[in-house]
Amino acid sequence: MFNNTPFTNLTLKESLHLFKKNVKPLWEDPRNKNGGAWTFRVPKAQSHEFWKEVLMMAIGEILQEVVEKGGFSPRLR
């Protein structure tokens, strides 16, 4: 999925979303009852690398911890 995402074709204000398999992207899905969202504003030149890091942290289930501690890589700030 990551290798086939057309990052260079995204226009201003477009969004990317990541959802767990078989979880509907709706608040009504019971698995989302305690859900939330993160929003990041990133310079377009750094968006590809930033998205990759966010995906890896989400898949590794450490994203929330990193966000709370403000531990994103300095090169992405």
Residue 77 included in any domain: no
| More confident site: 73 or 67 | 67
- How many whole angstroms separate alpha carbon 1 and alpha carbon 28? 26
C-alpha distances out from residue 33 to 55, 58, 68, Å: 22, 18, 20
Quote the domain boundaries for residue 51.
Answer: 43-72
Assess if residue 24 is contained within a domain: no
Domain membership flag for residue 11: no
pLDDT, tens digit, for every residue of 22-71?
A: 888 787 888 887 777 778 888 878 888 888 888 888 888 898 888 888 87
- Look up the pTM and report it: 0.63
Tell whether 34 is covered by a domain. Answer: no
Note whether residue 47 is domain-resident. Answer: yes
Q: For the chain, what is the domain count?
A: 1
Question: Does residue 10 belong to any structural domain of this protein?
Answer: no
